[in-house]
Amino acid sequence: MLFQKSGPVSWIVVFLGNPGPQYTNTRHNAGFMAGEAMERLQNVKINRVRFKALTAICPIGGETVLLMKPQTYMNLSGEAVGQAARFYKVPPAHILVVSDEMSLPIGRIRVRPKGSAGGHNGLKNIISVLGTEEFPRIRLGVGAPPHPDYDVKDWVLSVFRNQDAVDMAGAAKRAAEAVECYIRHGADKTMNIYNQSK
């Protein structure tokens, strides 16, 4: 199917992660995993280098959507988001960010129309650059460290294995579907469907 451009970009979807093969399939790259699921769902490749990110443009529900995987490393994700938002004049309410979440068990996703960074450095930087917390986000559960003394950095950079990897693949697919649902139907319907147990 040929993509007929329906107008300027009206939504930006940001999948958060760290670039580089050493970060593939780590907990902190759950957002990138959702981006890969989105590629399969939309039959696109997020591979055009723009705005310090890998990007693709696709239609969803009559909207023209920019998909982004920032290549700045997590704690500078806002640089890529800010560039794209300014270029396309997209308001924060139409910037949907997909990221990992330690406070959720593996396989769960949580949709919110706005909220704090919750200690997440990528979200913190995006909030700083956009100057607001009023943007939607989809957070993928990656589980909490196994004991209180476990180094958080080591935990988020650890790789999913065995059943955890299976559960995360399912969560990434649901997160991509939730992105489509949010753009087509809004926050309330998406939260009702996807903020449930896996």
Catalytic site positions:
28
User: In the numeric block, which tokens belong to residue 15?
Assistant: 């999948």
- 137-141 vs 95-101, strand pairing mode: parallel
Rg (the chain; Cα; Å): 16
Secondary structure string (H, E, C) spanning the chain:
CCCCCCCCCCEEEEECCCCCHHHCCEHHHHHHHHHHHHHHHHCCCCCEEECCEEEEEEEECCEEEEEEEECCCHHHHHHHHHHHHHHHCCCHHHEEEEEEECCCCCCCEEEECCCCCCCCHHHHHHHHHHCCCCCCEEEEECCCCCCCCCCHHHHHCCECCHHHHHHHHHHHHHHHHHHHHHHHHCHHHHHHHHCCCC
How far apart are the C-alpha atoms of 158 and 100, rounded to whole Å? 13
Residue with the two structure tokens 């310090």? 52
